[in-house]
Amino acid sequence: MNAQIAPIAPPAAATIRGADALLRALEAEGVDLIFGYPGGAIMPVYDALVDSNIRHILVRHEQGAALAANGYARHSGKVGVCLATSGPGATNLVTGIADAFLDSVPMVAITGQVATSLMGTDAFQEVDIFGITLPIVKHSYIVRRAEEIADIVHEAFRIAREGRPGPVLIDLPKDVANAALEWRPSTLPPPPAPPPVDRAALHRAIALIESSQRPVLYTGYGVGLSEAEEALRRFARATGIPVVSTLKGLGGIPTDDPQFLGMLGMHGSRAANLAVQESDLLIVVGARFDDRATGKLAEFAPGAKVLHLDADAAEVSKLRYANVHLVGRLPELLPQLHCRTDIATWQAYCAELRAKAQPRYDAPGDFIYAPALLRELSQRLPEGGVIACDVGQHQMWVAQHCIHRAINRHLTSGGLGTMGFGLPAAMGVKLGSPQTEVVCVSGDGSIMMNIQELATLRRYGVAVKIVLLDNSALGMVRQWQELFFAERYSEVDLSDNPDFAELARAFGIEAMGIERRDQVQAGLDALFKAQGPFLLHVRIDPRANVWPLVPPNSANHQLIDPEADAAVRSAALDPAAPASIGGLTANGGEE
């Protein structure tokens, strides 16, 4: 007679398991969706999920779980939750946790752990995920007693949301998940109220704005995190101050607004970079002077004073001294800046910069011109639609050429630059907001990083539309090797790519391939008409580069753009042009 494994006895009626307590605590925080992958140490939680109202999405790789939770959180404003087992399950979450940390995304990552009696013994699938993730989380917990679960979960969600958001790790040993306890909801007190606004600093800020002649609003992702878009737009309209944005701040001011000069930085617009370099005051709202935005920091906006508004005091004067700073919630700070400005000459100059820097979409050649395709894609995207982007040349083209009208409708991996971000992030958005049209723009390098999530799209019928730009290369690396490494191309050739349309069909997803300009309209029609997930495989010129570009260790006015319109160049060099406001000519050189 075969021996049978006796099932684990359920707890007494008056008690529940730690795993059940975890699910109850998550439900109390309003969690309705979790992304995860099961395994040995986390199995008690998966058993508890059977009786929970929380919907679980089975991804095909734990990195996909973390990035899907990331996308869900960015668009919804809620805390994203991902779940994995110990060992490789936990370590596969690390890239997604780091991405959330660098991009200030509220997320709680829950990992199974070996039993407490085995911790530190090199047990099967044991890793110190607490130690591994210490530099990339806001806070970490190892749950030692089941009775602590409700309070730990409640505190973890508060920490993930408050101030500058970010990820929190909860490591749950298997014996604690199986331990019996009497359920009690969290009794932790609410956090203290934030300190009042510094009135003296507020008066100094107003005086600084009113005395400036060439102010620029430099806006970042903090605007979206604090839901300050409307407050920012009211302030911009009231003052008439020109606006620039970081990559992740795009949409804080609609990018087709006449006051918006463009994205600043390495691949920023000529108008944005020149205006910032010539400004006498930077009003920094929810941004952090990232190196990709500032270029050579010592030469960034050399004549400008800084007024810095941010929820995170640690960012103030970290990289650039702030003459005045205001720390707090941006929707409360901005309306208190009642300012009068008299900057008509500066406004006219910036408007001229903007007009001269408008991109053209009539590029020569037979290849599909990616910027033109992406511009039309964004124009056809329904109101409220979302573009989730991967990392590479296509990421910069999306930033430069798509129309962005809200920060949480443009999802991209900024701080970590995670290839493979786009598909799972788009999936997270769509699962959290089923009525929203969600497009993932990816590249032939990035798509292969998490292509297994096509199976997740198919399983749950997640109607994400994928636009895959295929240049048969790791395009951004190839561009840098062309420009800065004497065309010594090393390990960037992807000419042996599969037919991605056929690959998508193998996953059960409708697909189409295009390679000529006269096929673009039919391709976009098919993309938007599809009822379920769809992949549009777009072959583009392998030699196409992203312009403008600020070379490494250069100031932002030293940008290069060999494709710039000749008329713009000649007008910029005209001595009669009003380009001497800040001592720089409009082509980026010094007078």
How does pLDDT run across 195-245, given as a tens digit for each residue? 888 999 999 999 999 999 999 999 999 999 999 999 999 999 999 999 999
Band of pLDDT at residue 573, cut at 50, 70 and 90: very low
The pLDDT value recorded for residue 576 is 45
The string of pLDDT tens digits covering residues 134-161 is 999 999 999 999 999 999 999 999 999 9
Q: Say which residue the tokens 């599809």 belong to.
A: 530
Q: Does the pLDDT of residue 523 top 50, yes or no? A: yes
Q: Three-state SS for 464?
A: coil
Of the candidates 50, 135, 131, 38, the residue with the CA atom closest to the CA atom of residue 88:
38
Residues 6+ apart with CB under 8 A from 250: 263, 399, 404, 407, 410
Which of 463-467, 491-495, 554-558, 577-581 has the least mean pLDDT? 577-581
- For the question of residue 476 being annotated catalytic, the response is yes
The pLDDT value recorded for residue 584 is 40
What amino acid is encoded at 482 in this protein? E
Task: Report which DSSP code applies to 436.
Answer: S
Query: Which among 29, 62, 155, 315 is annotated as catalytic?
Result: 62
Query: Which among 119, 449, 476, 512 is annotated as catalytic?
Result: 476
Residue spans in the chain of domains classed CATH 3.40.50.1220:
199-356
The pLDDT value recorded for residue 165 is 96
Band of pLDDT at residue 194, cut at 50, 70 and 90: confident
- For the question of residue 125 being annotated catalytic, the response is yes
Crossing angle for the helix pair 475-484 and 393-401, to the nearest 10 degrees: 100
CA separation, residue 122 to residues 114, 118, 382 (Å): 10, 8, 53
Start-end of H helices in 87-148: 88-91, 94-102, 129-132
Of the candidates 565, 591, 584, 562, the residue with the CA atom closest to the CA atom of residue 274:
584
Q: CA 382 to CA 163: how far, in whole Å?
A: 33
Of the candidates 74, 82, 78, the residue with the CA atom closest to the CA atom of residue 102:
74
More confident residue, 442 or 567: 442
Of the candidates 38, 73, 66, the residue with the CA atom closest to the CA atom of residue 450:
66
Mean per-residue pLDDT for 472-484? 96
Q: Does the pLDDT of residue 111 top 90, yes or no? A: yes
The string of pLDDT tens digits covering residues 313-323 is 999 999 999 99
The pLDDT value recorded for residue 6 is 57
Is the dihedral angle over the CA atoms 438, 444, 449, 455 positive or is it negative? positive
Contact 214, 279 (CB under 8 A): yes
Contact 111, 172 (CB under 8 A): yes
Contact 335, 313 (CB under 8 A): no
The string of pLDDT tens digits covering residues 358-397 is 998 988 888 999 999 999 999 999 999 999 999 999 999 9
Contact 463, 533 (CB under 8 A): yes
The pLDDT value recorded for residue 193 is 82
Residue spans in the chain of domains classed CATH 3.40.50.970:
16-181, 370-539
CB atoms within 10 A of CB 195: 8
Of the candidates 240, 232, 234, 237, the residue with the CA atom closest to the CA atom of residue 210:
240
- For the question of residue 62 being annotated catalytic, the response is yes
Query: Which among 78, 174, 305, 356 is annotated as catalytic?
Result: 174
**Average pLDDT score over the chain:** 93
Is the dihedral angle over the CA atoms 404, 410, 415, 418 positive or is it negative? negative
Which CATH fold would you assign to the domain 16-181? Answer: Rossmann fold (3.40.50)
Which of 263-277, 556-570, 574-588 has the least mean pLDDT? 574-588
Band of pLDDT at residue 580, cut at 50, 70 and 90: very low
Residues 6+ apart with CB under 8 A from 27: 52, 53, 54
What amino acid is encoded at 375 in this protein? R
Q: Does the pLDDT of residue 356 top 80, yes or no? A: yes
Contact 292, 251 (CB under 8 A): no
Residues 6+ apart with CB under 8 A from 4: none
Band of pLDDT at residue 192, cut at 50, 70 and 90: confident
Q: Does the pLDDT of residue 579 top 60, yes or no? A: no
- For the question of residue 448 being annotated catalytic, the response is no
Q: CA 8 to CA 23: how far, in whole Å?
A: 19
Beta strands in 444-583 (DSSP E): 465-470, 510-514, 534-539
The pLDDT value recorded for residue 470 is 98
The pLDDT value recorded for residue 562 is 87
Q: CA 147 to CA 464: how far, in whole Å?
A: 41
The pLDDT value recorded for residue 366 is 86
Band of pLDDT at residue 568, cut at 50, 70 and 90: very low
Q: What is the pTM of this model?
A: 0.92
Band of pLDDT at residue 51, cut at 50, 70 and 90: very high
Mean per-residue pLDDT for 275-287? 98
Q: Three-state SS for 312?
A: coil
Which of 88-92, 337-341, 482-486 has the least mean pLDDT? 337-341
- For the question of residue 529 being annotated catalytic, the response is no
The matching CATH number, chosen from 3.40.190.80, 3.30.950.10, 3.40.50.2300, 3.40.50.970, for 370-539 is 3.40.50.970
Query: Which among 124, 182, 230, 318 is annotated as catalytic?
Result: 124
The pLDDT value recorded for residue 9 is 54
The pLDDT value recorded for residue 226 is 93
Beta strands in 257-353 (DSSP E): 260-263, 281-285, 305-310, 324-327
Phi-psi region of 580 (alpha: psi -120 to 50; beta: other; left: phi over 0): alpha
Query: Which among 27, 125, 352, 519 is annotated as catalytic?
Result: 125
Q: Does the pLDDT of residue 187 top 90, yes or no? A: no
Of the candidates 103, 325, 115, the residue with the CA atom closest to the CA atom of residue 204:
325
The pLDDT value recorded for residue 365 is 85
Q: CA 422 to CA 70: how far, in whole Å?
A: 11
Band of pLDDT at residue 191, cut at 50, 70 and 90: confident
Could you tell me how far CA 579 lies from the centroid of its own chain?
A: 35
Residue 78 has phi, psi (to 5 degrees) of -90, 175
Residues 6+ apart with CB under 8 A from 113: 41, 86, 90, 119, 126, 129, 142, 171, 172, 173, 174
Band of pLDDT at residue 166, cut at 50, 70 and 90: very high
Burial class of residue 519, CB neighbours in 10 A (0-12, 13-18, 19+):
middle
User: In CATH, which superfamily holds the domain spanning 199-356?
Assistant: TPP-binding domain (3.40.50.1220)
